Structure formats: structure tokens, C-alpha cells
Structure 1
Amino acid sequence: MNEGHPGTQAAAGPAAGPDDGRGRATVLVVEDEPSIADVLAITLRFHHFDVMTAGTVREALAMASRTRPDCALLDVMLPDGDGRALGQELRTRMPDLALVFLTARDAPAEVVGALGFGDDYITKPFNIDEVVARIGAVLRRVRPHDVLPQRPPLRYGDLELDETTYVVRREGGTVQLTPTEYALLRFLVRNGGRVVPKEQLLRHVWNIEHSAESTVVETYISYLRRKLDQVGPPLITTRRGVGYGLAGSTA
């Protein structure tokens, strides 16, 4: 499984989990490979989704009957049946359920067949950031009024982060960020008055404790700088031996 940029961890920071005012959106993950199911569940929970996991068609139907999910992320090849047939059954029971298929099959006929009644189709090996982003996008598209509340934007100087659509704007232009990049920038903005230590960024954005040797922070800071500096003056600052902040911030 490809987990995205170098150094991306399974529990990337919260970015895409919608909240409908009734509680966090619920995703039913149906995947028979435990390691993949665990990565998906950990990441989605850290992105503010509630998650149920099942490894078979039988388990998935039982879970869906007890707790109605907002979205189902379905592996196509399951031990006791076809994920597409499961998707059709779930959609029959819950017409407003968002369906995203996850599979190693990428033949055009397979994709067209799944998208005939599903909402999106992701192939393995997958990018974990992309899975989170596409689930959020499907929920916004399929259930915009039920799932997404209106939240005031976060602002810092000429930077604006839309907490409803997860769009970033600067100098009147739009900056396209991955969910993890967005989570990192949001944490810096929320701490805009000070320099944030690397250890704190690892803990709050990636849920990593005591990993001073990790280069994931430096890697993502470089991604952010590359994108943000294209539409405005340098914004992210480095305090050597301390951490990172935004222009004008203090320790």
C-alpha cells in the first residue's frame, strides 16, 4: 500500500472528517485484510470520522442494520461475496448511503460497472491521503446539507482556511493541499502567535510520540512552502532547534 508522500504515517492529522451536528459522520470499512483495515480505521478516526469495520459481507450487513453509516468503503473482493453486490444491497436498504469501492481491479469494465451505482472507485495500492479526501468529497457531494455544517474560516494575514470545504486561499488565489498538508497548516494557523516545536507537530498532526529522528515534519513543511510561496511572500518560518511558525509569530 502506498501511503502518499515520503514519511506519511497511517494516522495523519485531522482534516477531512465532516460533522453534521448530530455527531461525526460514520464510515463502514469492509476490508478482509486486517493490516489495511487497521490503517484505514486509524486514519479515518484521526480525521474525525466514526468508523465501523467488517471483514465479510455477513458482518457488514449486520453492522449496517444496527448502525446506519453515512458512507461505506468497500473492498470488491471479499471472502464470502462480491463487494459490488454488497454495495447494491446496502444502497437498497439505505438509498442515501455514499458508496466508495476499494479494489486491486482497475480494468475499465470493472470501474464502469462499480460506478454504475457507486460514487467513487479507488484502486490498490492507494494513497491514504487520497482515500480520506475522496470520502470527504463524496459525502459533500452526496449529502451536502446533512453532513456539512457551516464553520467560520480561519484567518492569518492574507491566508484563509475554509473549515467547511477545506479550501485554502491566499492573495485571492486557491491553494490545493492534501488532507495532511491542510492539517499541518491549520495547526500552525491556530498557533499563529508562537513557534510550534517539532515534537508538538508530530503529536497533534500525526499522532506520533517521541520520534525525533522522523523527517515527516520537515518533508511536509517543504511541501507547504512550495505551494504557499507560489501565491504570496514566504509565510512559514523556521526557528532552528525549536520548531516552525508563521511570519510574525514569536516563540
Structure 2
Amino acid sequence: MKLLVIEDEIKLAEYLRKGLSEEGYVVDLAHNGIDGLHLASTGDYDLLILDGMLPGIDGLAVLTALRQSKQTPVLMLTARGQVEDRVRGLQTGADDYLVKPFAFSELVARIQVLLRRSHPSRSDAEPTLLHLADLDVDLVRRKATRAGQRLDLTVKEFNLLSLLLRRHGEVLSRTELAEQVWDMHFDSETNVVEVAVRRLRNKLDTPFDRTLLHTVRGMGYVLEARE
């Protein structure tokens, strides 16, 4: 899931990016209304977190302009906590409203609710428990086990494994893995994919007799249970 945070307080914006990335989300930042509206209008985001008071264009103006072309879920995150402020934000088109200061756990819970509302068919169609041989992955609890043994994975390792498992048997290129897991365009000088695959393989395959993660020379990587 890809989120856009439009927040002019730099420290808060970086805090949100770090925390939400650790929750498994890909996060872009904008620090003013003009840049935020441009990214929100041209990008493909699952949800926006929008500050109400922004330089350039304030949050309500961003929301008004955005609603003319897109219905991306918007969570307003602002210091304006009066009833009339909340009503105005919701009437303008916000899907939820959270007042600063806030608990990060509540923010995450509200994001999850909005994403479930906006992607009901995705929740119904896609399984949350994935299996391959003796590998089990719980996408909701973000837990992976092999032969009943818990795999201690980082956020990126879990996201990488989940992507490979959802498309098991399919060879995924380094470019696609970089774009899907790290939200970055692949650079031949960057070995981030190879390093992550090596670390994942050490946890996923090395302690066990059967290899599941395979390298396909010149093409990429595939997760499959081979005889």
C-alpha cells in the first residue's frame, strides 16, 4: 500500500514516514500544499494523510481541488480540533479527521479502517494466509513461519517474501522487486535487492533442508517448491 503524507512540520513528517514504513507502507512526503496537490493528483496512492494548515495552499483547498478528479481516501491530521473545523473538513471531502497531538497506534488503526473501506473487494478476493510447502505467512499479523519455526524478518524482508509468495512460481526481476518493495527505480549500481534476497535466504532456506527461494540467472528470483 502506498501513502502520501502532506505535512509541513519536517520532524513530524519524517516521524510519520519512519513509523508507517515500519508498518509495511510505502510513504511519499510533501511539505506544502502545492507539491502535495501535484503528487496527489498525478500519483497513484491508496490513502492521503493531509495537514489542515499548509504553506502555499491550505489543506481544505488541497482537498477541494483533489475531490474534483479523485476519490482517494483522505485522513486529515491537524491541530484544528474545534467541532466546526472537523465538520468543515468532513463536509469538504475528508474521510476521517484526527486532531494533533495524536497516538501513532490510533493513526495506524484509522488508516487500516479507511483502506478496508476503499478496497473491500481486495480484502475478500485476496487471502491473508499464504502457504507454500512448509512455509506459512500471515499477512494480517505479519508473521512468517517455516516448519513451525518463526522467521525473524525485517519489514522489507517480510514485504519481499510476501510479494514472492503471492506470485510463487513466477520469476520476478530485480527491477520489479525494487519498484514493488522499495518504491524505487532500479539502478544497476545499487545492490539493495541482492543484499535483501541474500539476507532473506539466510533466514528462509539456510536452516532448512529444502530450498524455496531460487535465483534464475539473468532474469531474477522465484519462490517455488521444487522436487
If the TM-score is normalised by the length of the shorter chain, which range does it land in? 0.5 to 0.7
1:149-170 per-residue CA deviation (whole Å, 9 max, x = no partner) reads: 5224389xxxxx974xx4xxxx
1:99 aligns with 2:74: yes
**1:64–1:195 Cα change, 3 Å:** closer
CA drift of 1:90 comes to 1.2
CA drift of 1:66 comes to 3.4
Q: Distance in 1 between matches of 2:21 and 2:124?
A: 17
Matched residue, 1:113: 88
**1:151–1:67 Cα change, 3 Å:** same
| Partner amino acid, structure 1, of 2:113 | A
Q: How does 1:17-32 map to 2 (within 5 A)?
A: 25-32=1-8
CA drift of 1:38 comes to 0.5
1:173-216 per-residue CA deviation (whole Å, 9 max, x = no partner) reads: xxxxxxxxx55xx36xx3784588xxx6xx847x9xxxxxxxxx
3-state secondary structure, aligned to 1:78: coil
Provide structure 1 residue ranges, at least 5 long, that are not aligned to the other structure: 1-24, 156-160, 167-181, 208-251
| Partner amino acid, structure 2, of 1:100 | L
CA drift of 1:46 comes to 2.3
**1:59–1:192 Cα change, 3 Å:** same
**1:149–1:39 Cα change, 3 Å:** farther
Q: How does 1:148-187 map to 2 (within 5 A)?
A: 150-153=126-129, 163=139, 166=140, 182=141, 186=143
1:38 aligns with 2:14: yes
Matched residue, 1:8: none
RMSD (Å) for aligned C-alpha atoms: 3.0
Q: Distance in 1 between matches of 2:61 and 2:119?
A: 22
CA drift of 1:101 comes to 0.1
Provide structure 2 residue ranges, at least 5 long, that are not aligned to the other structure: 132-136, 158-227
CA drift of 1:33 comes to 0.5
Q: Distance in 1 between matches of 2:124 and 2:65?
A: 26
3-state secondary structure, aligned to 2:68: helix
Q: Distance in 1 between matches of 2:37 and 2:128?
A: 38
| Partner amino acid, structure 1, of 2:99 | T
3-state secondary structure, aligned to 2:40: helix
Relative to the length of structure 2, the TM-score reads 0.57
CA drift of 1:56 comes to 0.6
**1:192–1:101 Cα change, 3 Å:** farther
| Partner amino acid, structure 2, of 1:34 | I
The correspondence for 1:131, drawn from 98, 107, 110, is 107
Relative to the length of structure 1, the TM-score reads 0.52
**1:152–1:103 Cα change, 3 Å:** closer
1:144 aligns with 2:124: no
CA drift of 1:72 comes to 1.0
Contact 1:101 1:121 (8 Å CA) reproduced: yes
Contact 2:75 2:95 (8 Å CA) reproduced: yes
| Partner amino acid, structure 1, of 2:33 | V
Matched residue, 2:29: 53
Contact 2:41 2:66 (8 Å CA) reproduced: no
**1:104–1:93 Cα change, 3 Å:** same
Matched residue, 1:179: none
